């Protein structure tokens, strides 16, 4: 497709290989696309835009969004949180289908409990304050639940492409670390101390040993409060049946992420911090043997007038501003008073010059931004010349409807930013 183009297969030059988004979407072997990246870079937007484009190209796609902006969610018809995918009616042209959902973290956690404990136990767990605080916001819970939901969607086999948005973590790495962190929390020392009695003797043993344990954990009880400690113990005892479950499913999802049908896209802004982070993530994916499709450089600036350099625009602006002063002085006494100009025409002329100079300065600033972004990208590419890149222009406004998502999709597929 791209053979013969300079820079495409010449590693070491500044031009990275282009990310072939349409090829990725059209490839029936692609079953899962994961959009990762630091907070606020455009993961949700990219995931939704890929979903819209995939459906338009005939895929039966589902997008799992985590934290869509309100208006975006509304435009896709997923502003109600019921934790299951809904069909996005207006995105069906082209033979495909788009379904979308917004993750409800707590609901997903509850569903796991309900699916893996008998009714009585499930009720006890769900009512337990310790469970409630864990499910509502333990660090990593959202990441874990996103993976859990991905596993569920994949198991249903109703879609031929699943596009996953990831939680708004500070770091992209959190998504990969969460299952292990949650797992080691549940397997952790603190929990095991509390679990010990229950493991030894089951329910009766728990009752019996709790008496003995109340001596051992007397200090703990003083620290935590007796009723809270009891909550923790009941919670942990009830979760006992699910311990293996969490680990096993986290491992299964991890394997799913390593499968050849999975493609990771790292989304980043063209800024040094963001790209440094993206570089870490790329290395981590390689270490985990997870397939990277490429880097989406989002909100790249462009200009329709990039033949005018920053230096020349600045020079022209200075010229105009100096000229304006001269003009004003000579204008009073000189040539212009012979013409029958309306009063104030002089002022208008200098005003135009001033505005023109201002625009030239703005243009110069933009050209400097573009140059800086390019240098930042080049630094990333010299570090990871193998990583394909798609650049998406910064649109003038937020992306909050299907038309906006289509526009992003087109830019993703084109890969190079047309003047924004
Ligand atoms: N290329 C773009 N041009 C203009 N606005 C964008 C672009 N990409 C994302 N946005 C806007 O930036 C904000 C953050 O995007 P979002 O996808 O929610 O980021 P994340 O999911 O990574 O936190 C949203 O308001 C979105 O509409
Ligand atoms: Mg988001």
Q: Give the ligand with the smallest distance to the CA of 42.
A: 1
Which segment of 39-48, 67-76, 279-288, 316-325 scores lowest on mean pLDDT? 316-325
CA distance 198 to 209: 8
- Across 37-187, the runs of DSSP E, i.e. the strands, are 60-65, 86-87, 97-102, 161-165
Distance 399 CA to ligand 1 centre (A): 7
CA of 101 to the centre of ligand 2 (A): 13
Query: How far is CA 331 from its chain centroid?
Result: 58
- Shortest-distance atom of ligand 1 to CA 267: 22
* Nearest protein Cα to ligand 1, atom 16: 42
Identify which of 43, 45, 164 to mutate to test ligand 1's pocket (most ligand atoms within 8 A of the CB). Answer: 45
Compute, in angstroms, the gap from residue 167 CA to the centroid of ligand 2. Answer: 6
CA of 321 to the centre of ligand 1 (A): 38
**42, 68, 165, 390: residue to mutate for ligand 1 pocket, most atoms within 8 A of CB:** 42
The helix (run of H) or strand (run of E) holding residue 112 is: helix 105-116
CA distances from 122 to 136, 148, 152, 211, 308 (A): 16, 18, 19, 25, 67
How is residue 391 written in tokens?
């650049």
What are the φ/ψ torsions at residue 112 (nearest 5 degrees)?
Answer: -65, -45
C-alpha–C-alpha distance, residues 290 and 166, integer Å:
16
* Spatial separation of the C-alpha atoms in residues 325 and 231, rounded to whole Å: 79
Residues 298 and 40 sit within 8 Å (Cβ to Cβ): no
Q: Collapsing DSSP states into helix, strand and coil, what is residue 101?
A: strand
pLDDT attached to residue 404: 94
Rounded Cα gap, residues 257 and 242, in angstroms: 22
Share of the chain above pLDDT 90, in %: 36
User: What spacing in Å lies between the alpha carbon of 40 and ligand 1's midpoint?
Assistant: 6
Is a pLDDT exceeding 60 seen at residue 124? yes
Which ligand 1 atom is the nearest neighbour of the CA of 400?
27
**Mean pLDDT score, 208-229:** 55
Residue 379 in tokens: 């630094």
> What is the CA(394)–ligand 1 centre distance, in A?
9
Residue nearest atom 4 in ligand 1 by C-alpha distance: 395
**Interval between CA 45 and ligand 1 midpoint (Å):** 6
409 Cα: distance to centroid of ligand 1 (angstroms): 13
Strand partners, 162: 32, 62
pTM over 0.95: no
Separation between Cα atoms, residue 235 and residue 232, nearest integer Å? 5
Q: d(Cα 342, Cα 411) in Å, to the nearest integer?
A: 49
> What is the distance in A from the centroid of ligand 2 to the CA of 68?
6
**Which ligand is closest in space to the CA of residue 66?**
2
pLDDT at residue 199 tops 50: no
Q: Which CATH number fits domain 21-186+259-303+384-414: 3.30.43.10, 3.40.50.1100, 3.40.50.300, 3.10.150.10?
A: 3.40.50.300
Nearest CA to ligand 1 atom 17: 42
What average pLDDT does the chain have?
78
Residue 332 exposed, middle or buried by CB count within 10 Å (0-12, 13-18, 19+): exposed
Residue 215: count other Cβ atoms within 10 Å of its Cβ.
Answer: 9
Domain boundaries, the chain: 21-186+259-303+384-414, 188-241, 310-382
Mind listing the pLDDT tens digit for each residue in 348-406?
668 888 899 999 999 999 999 999 999 999 999 999 999 999 999 999 888 999 999 99
Least confident of 59-63, 219-223, 235-239, 324-328: 324-328
Structure tokens at 409: 């999709």
Find the angle CA(58)-CA(35)-CA(154) to the nearest 5 degrees.
60
Q: Whose Cα sits closest to atom 2 in ligand 1?
A: 394
**What ligand has the least distance to the C-alpha of 41?**
1
Torsion of CA 275, 278, 279, 283, to 10 degrees: 180
Residue with CA closest to ligand 1 atom 19: 42
Of residues 144 and 159, more confidently modeled: 159
What's the confidence (pLDDT) of residue 342? Answer: 54
Q: Show the ligand 1 pocket: residues with CB < 6 angstroms.
A: 37, 39-45, 69, 168, 298-299, 392, 394-395, 398-399, 408
- Phi, psi dihedral angles at 296 (to 5 degrees): -100, 115
């Amino acid at each position: 497709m791209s053979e013969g183009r300079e820079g495409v297969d010449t590693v070491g030059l500044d031009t990275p290989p282009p990310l072939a988004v349409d090829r990725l979407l059209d490839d029936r072997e692609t079953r899962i696309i994961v959009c990762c990246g630091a907070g606020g870079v455009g993961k949700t937007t990219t995931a939704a835009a890929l979903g819209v484009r995939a459906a338009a190209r005939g895929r039966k796609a589902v997008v799992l969004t985590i934290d869509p902006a309100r208006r975006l969610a509304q435009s896709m018809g997923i502003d109600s949180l019921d934790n299951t995918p809904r069909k996005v009616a207006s995105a069906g042209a082209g033979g495909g289908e788009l379904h979308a959902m917004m993750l409800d973290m707590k609901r997903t956690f509850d569903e796991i409990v309900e699916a893996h404990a008998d009714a009585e136990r499930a009720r006890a767990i769900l009512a337990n304050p310790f469970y409630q605080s864990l499910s509502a916001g333990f660090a990593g819970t959202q990441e874990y639940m996103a993976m859990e939901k991905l596993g569920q969607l994949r198991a249903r086999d109703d879609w031929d492409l699943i596009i996953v948005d990831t939680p708004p973590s500070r770091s992209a790495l959190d998504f990969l670390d969460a299952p292990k962190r949650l797992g080691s929390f549940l397997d952790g020392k603190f929990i095991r101390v509390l679990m010990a009695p229950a493991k030894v003797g089951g329910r009766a043993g728990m009752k019996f040993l709790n008496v003995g344990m109340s001596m051992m954990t007397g200090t703990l009880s003083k620290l935590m409060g007796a009723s809270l400690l009891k909550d923790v113990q009941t919670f942990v005892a009830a979760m006992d049946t699910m311990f293996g479950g969490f680990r096993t499913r986290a491992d299964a999802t991890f394997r799913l992420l390593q499968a050849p049908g999975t493609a990771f896209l790292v989304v980043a802004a063209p800024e040094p911090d963001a790209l440094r982070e993206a570089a870490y993530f790329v290395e981590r994916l390689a270490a985990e043997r997870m397939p990277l499709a490429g880097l989406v450089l989002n909100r790249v600036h462009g200009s329709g007038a990039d033949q005018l350099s920053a230096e020349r625009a600045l020079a022209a602006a200075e010229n105009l501003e100096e000229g304006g002063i001269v003009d004003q002085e000579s204008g009073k006494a000189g040539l212009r008073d012979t013409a029958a100009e309306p009063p104030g025409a002089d002022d208008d002329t200098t005003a135009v010059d001033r505005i023109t100079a201002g625009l030239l300065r703005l243009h110069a600033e933009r050209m400097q931004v573009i140059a800086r972004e390019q240098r930042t990208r080049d630094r990333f590419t010299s570090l990871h010349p193998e990583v394909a890149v798609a650049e998406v222009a910064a649109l003038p406004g937020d992306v909050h409807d299907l038309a906006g998502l289509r526009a992003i999709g087109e830019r993703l597929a084109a890969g190079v930013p047309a003047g924004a």
